[in-house]
Chain A
Amino acid sequence: AQSVTQLGSHVSVSEGALVLLRCNYSSSVPPYLFWYVQYPNQGLQLLLKYTSAATLVKGINGFEAEFKKSETSFHLTKPSAHMSDAAEYFCAVSDSSGGYNKLIFGAGTRLAVHP
């Protein structure tokens, strides 16, 4: 069965500092991986996705993630944090075992950005 682990339920960074949110996955087949962001009182918005085309994936708002098969990781980074990045971030893997590609989510990481 596929699963996702996000290390760190809370991450706090200074404005302008590097953002690193960790995600490790478990999958018996080549995975499709996603990062979603949830701002307060809003739904989940896709930041970026890995679909095997390229290991370094660039997303919206300056975020990127690198797929590392040897480490089964898909960590999310941003070189310089902005106050508006404060939100909850979810890593997810698409589970194709049932044929309809439900998403399996990690527990989420709440990012705080302080001045």
Chain B
Amino acid sequence: EPEVTQTPSHQVTQMGQEVILRCVPISNHLYFYWYRQILGQKVEFLVSFYNNEISEKSEIFDDQFSVERPDGSNFTLKIRSTKLEDSAMYFCASRSGGSAANEQFFGPGTRLTVL
């Protein structure tokens, strides 16, 4: 069964460093998303990506964040200069085209710890 994969599963970094979180969505999906979950809080939308460009982003997704799909399979989230408050679980998700009722498939997440 196709699944969304994410690497690494855990990432520890120093404040101010750049991190890149990687995701491989399901191959025939067209819509891609990043969400995050700070420990003890709800899952929050960060950004959606369609047709090789950002389609929607939240207030959280400021200039320190960027996404790209460099090779048609990987989907990456970059945080340019990490802050302590970026520590969270980051989930990638993908969805097929067609009906908006189609579910989003989630990866297992990357736990980011900023020291």
- List residues of A whose CB falls within 8 A of some B CB: 32, 34, 36, 41-46, 49, 51, 90, 92, 94, 96, 98-108
User: How many A-B contacts at CB < 8 Å in the complex?
Assistant: 64
- Residue tally, chain B, CB below 8 Å to A: 27
Across the interface, B42 reaches (CB within 8 A) one of A34, A49, A107, namely: A107
B104 within 8 A of A: yes
Tell whether, in the assembled complex, residue B56 and residue A44 are in contact, meaning their CB atoms are under 8 Å apart: no
**15 chain-A/chain-B pairs, Cβ below 8 angstroms:** A34-B103, A36-B106, A42-B108, A43-B6, A43-B107, A44-B91, A45-B106, A49-B103, A90-B43, A92-B43, A100-B31, A102-B45, A103-B33, A105-B42, A108-B42
B44 within 8 A of A: yes
Interface residues in B69-115 by Cβ distance below 8 A to A read: 91, 93, 95, 99-101, 103-109
Tell whether, in the assembled complex, residue B45 and residue A43 are in contact, meaning their CB atoms are under 8 Å apart: no
- List residues of B whose CB falls within 8 A of some A CB: 4, 6, 31, 33, 35, 41-45, 48, 50, 55-56, 91, 93, 95, 99-101, 103-109
How far does the alpha carbon of A64 sit from the alpha carbon of B95 in the complex, in Å? 23
Across the interface, A100 reaches (CB within 8 A) one of B4, B6, B50, B108, namely: B50
A93 to chain B, nearest CB (A): 11
Tell whether, in the assembled complex, residue B100 and residue A43 are in contact, meaning their CB atoms are under 8 Å apart: no
Would A43 and B44 be within 8 Å (CB), given that A32-B101, A34-B103 are in contact? no
If A96-B100, A101-B100 are given as contacts, then 20 extra A-B residue pairs at C-beta distance below 8 Å, sorted by A number, are A32-B100, A36-B106, A44-B106, A49-B103, A51-B101, A90-B42, A92-B43, A98-B56, A99-B55, A100-B50, A101-B31, A102-B33, A102-B48, A103-B33, A103-B35, A103-B93, A104-B45, A105-B35, A105-B42, A105-B44
How far does the alpha carbon of A102 sit from the alpha carbon of B93 in the complex, in Å? 10
**Chain B residues, CB < 8 A from A108:** 42-43
How far does the alpha carbon of A98 sit from the alpha carbon of B62 in the complex, in Å? 18
